[in-house]
């Protein structure tokens, strides 16, 4: 196994706000990766760049909130308003199936591009349960865990989360190269 040194955006001095103008999680993840790579190349550096975009998709809402997960009700990160809007939009709908998705985009110095997708299936419930996690976790019921992500301990959630599943794919890729 190869040793990897992982650097955060802060460690490389990247503090730009990247506008997510894509219509898909994959497009937004790649936009972020390309912005970081351009920044690194200006500094004469050629690192492997990994970026992600993730969110909640509800089947009865044709995939919404989707790429607008963090700003579903308007203001970015107002999860109280986002959950309230989600419940309003689901009122009267029989199906509550949903999934969290994480798309990791990886850009290699030679311009090779790869994408890894992790999903976690569940359903939206009508009450908040738990105090862990963030955002929609308190209303996202995981059939695998038999509880909401808000009720799950970090260790439990990190075993099956959309991000964990995408990262496991990425790690297998990096270990193979």
Interacting residues of 141 by C-beta distance below 8 A, sequence separation 6+: 122, 123, 124, 125, 129, 147, 148
Q: What letter would DSSP give residue 71?
A: G
Positions marked active-site: 53
Helix (H) or strand (E) segment spanning residue 146: none
Q: Is 5 exposed, middle or buried (0-12, 13-18, 19+ CB in 10 A)?
A: exposed
CA atoms of 87 and 19, how far apart (whole Å): 28
* Beta bridge pairs of residue 117: 103
């Amino acid at each position: 196994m190869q040793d990897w040194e992982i650097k955060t955006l802060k460690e490389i001095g990247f503090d730009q706000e990247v506008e997510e103008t894509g219509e898909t999680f994959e497009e937004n993840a790649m936009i972020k990766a390309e912005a970081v790579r351009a920044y690194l190349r200006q500094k004469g550096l050629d690192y492997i760049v990994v970026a992600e975009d993730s969110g909640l998709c509800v089947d009865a809402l044709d995939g919404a909130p989707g790429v607008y997960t963090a700003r579903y009700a308007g203001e970015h990160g107002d999860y109280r308003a986002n959950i309230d809007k989600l419940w309003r939009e689901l009122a009267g709908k029989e199906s509550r199936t949903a999934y969290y998705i994480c798309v990791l985009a990886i850009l290699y110095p030679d311009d090779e591009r790869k994408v890894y997708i992790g999903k976690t299936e569940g359903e939206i419930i009508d009450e908040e349960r738990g105090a862990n996690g963030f955002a929609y976790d308190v209303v996202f019921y995981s059939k695998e865990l038999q509880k909401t992500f808000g009720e799950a301990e970090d260790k439990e959630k990190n075993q099956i989360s959309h991000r964990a599943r995408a990262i496991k794919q990425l790690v297998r890729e990096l270990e193979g190269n």
